[in-house]
Amino acid sequence: MKYVRLVRLLLKQNFLRELNFRGNFFLAVGTNALWFLIAIIFFGAIYLQSPSIGGWSMDETLMLLSVSEIVHLLYKGLLGKGVSRIPDLVRTGRLDHLLLKPVDSQFLVSFYRVDYYSLISLIFPLALFFRSLERLTISLTVGQIFAALALIFGSVFILYSVSLFIVSLSFWLTQVYALHALFQEVFSLSNYPESIYSGLLRIAFTFVFPIVIIANYPASFILHKHIGVLWLPVLFAVCVWGLLARRLWFYGLRHYSGASS
C-alpha cells in the first residue's frame, strides 16, 4: 500500500517538476517522434523493394514496430530515467540519501524519476498499433487482450531488469555509461522480425540478450503468429533477469563506498 501511494506521489512530483521546463516538451517529444518516423521510413523503404521479411508482411512488421516502441517508451517513461541516473548517483555519492530511506532501495531508485515526455510520446506508436490492427482485421477476445497486456508489461520488466543489471556494474566500473547506451542500442533493434534469427543466435538473442522476447513475443501473440512456446521463455526471462538484477544491485551496494572515504 505504501508503495502504491509512493508511486502515485512520485508521479505527481515529477509532473510538477517537468512543468518547470516547458521549453523541453517539443524537443523531447519531437525526438521520440523523429526516431519513430525514421523507423517507419526504414521498413517502408524495405517493403517498397521486397514483399516480405522472412514471412512478415509490411503491416505485421509495423505492428511489431509499434509494440516494440510501446514497450520501450513505457520502460523509458516509468523506470528508465531513474535507472540511467544510477551511475551518476554512485559516482557523486548522492545515492546515500536514497539508501537511508526506509523504503526498498531498488524500488526507490527506479521510480524516483518519471519521464513524462516518453509517456506522452506513446501516442505515436499507439496510433500505428490501432491502424495496423484495423488493416490486418485482427480481433482479440477480452482474455487475449489481458494476455497481450501481460506480455507487454512482462517485456517492460525484462527490459528494465537487464538495464538495471548493466547499470549496477557501475559499482565496480567507471565507464558504465557507454555500456548502458550501447545496450540500449542493441535493444532498440527489438523491432526486427524474429524470423531473422536462427540456430545458436536465436537462442542467444532469446535468453542472453532477450531482444527476441521483448517485442516479438507480444506482437506475435497479437498477430496470432505462432513462434513456438511462448509463455515459458517469457516467464523464464522475467524470473531470471529480475532475480539477477536484484541480486547484483544489492551485491553492488556492498561495494558502494560513496564518493569519498
Partner 1 sequence: MGWRKYFLVARLSMREASAYRVNHVVSFIVVAAPLIIVLLLWETIYDQQQKIAGLTRSQVLTYFILTRWLFELTGPAVWWEITSDIRDGTLAAHLLRPEDYQAYQFASIIGAKLPYAVVGLIVIFPFALFIGEAFLIPDSGLVWGGFLLSIALAMMMGYLFTYLFSLTAFWLEEGRGVELLADIAIPFAMGSMLPLSFLPDAWEKFLSYLPFQYLLYFPVNIYLEKLTREQVLLGLAVQIIWIGALLLINKVVWDMGLRRFSAVGG
Partner 2 sequence: MNAAIEVENLTKTYRVPIRRPGLKGAIKHLFARQYRNVVALDRISFTVQQGAAVGYLGPNGAGKTTTLKVLSGLLHPDEGHIRVLGFDPWRHEEAFKKRIGFVMGQKGQLWWDLPAHDSFELLREMYEIPSRRFLSTLQELVERFSVKDLLYVPVRNLSLGERMKMELIAILLHEPQVLFLDEPTIGLDVMAQHEIRLLLKDYQKRHGATLLLASHYMRDVEDLCDRILLIHQGNILFDGSIDEIKKHYVPFKKVSFTLSRPVESEEVFSQWGEVQEYSGSQVTLTVAEHKVTQIMQLIVTRFPVVGVSVQDPSLEEVIRVAFSTFDNGQGGRDGVA
| Residues contributing to the site for partner 1 (CB under 8 A) | 24, 27, 30-31, 34-35, 38, 41-42, 45-46, 48-50, 52-54, 175, 178-179, 182-183, 185-186, 189, 192-193, 195-197, 201, 205, 209, 211
CB of 182 to partner 1, least distance (A): 4
CB atoms within 10 A of CB 127: 11
Q: What's the rounded Cα separation, in Å, for the pair 62 and 65?
A: 5
* Residue 96 contacts partner 2 per CB under 8 A: yes
Residue closer to partner 1, measured from CB, 20 or 185: 185
* Residue 101 contacts partner 2 per CB under 8 A: yes
* Residue 178 contacts partner 2 per CB under 8 A: no
Q: Are 163 and 190 in contact (CB under 8 A)?
A: no
| Residue 33 touches which of partner 2, partner 1, none (Cβ within 5-8 Å per kind) | none
Residue closer to partner 1, measured from CB, 13 or 175: 175
* Residue 88 contacts partner 2 per CB under 8 A: no
Q: Look up cell 512488421; give the residue.
A: 61
* Residue 260 contacts partner 2 per CB under 8 A: yes
| Residue 106 touches which of partner 2, partner 1, none (Cβ within 5-8 Å per kind) | none
CB of 8 to partner 2, least distance (A): 9
Residue closer to partner 1, measured from CB, 52 or 144: 52
Residue closer to partner 2, measured from CB, 99 or 136: 99
Q: What's the rounded Cα separation, in Å, for the pair 153 and 213?
A: 12
Residue closer to partner 2, measured from CB, 36 or 112: 112
Residues 21-40 that bind partner 2 (CB under 8 A): 21
User: Given the rule CB under 8 A, which residues bind partner 2?
Assistant: 2, 5-6, 9-10, 13, 16-17, 20-21, 92-94, 96-97, 99-103, 105, 108, 253-254, 256-258, 260-261
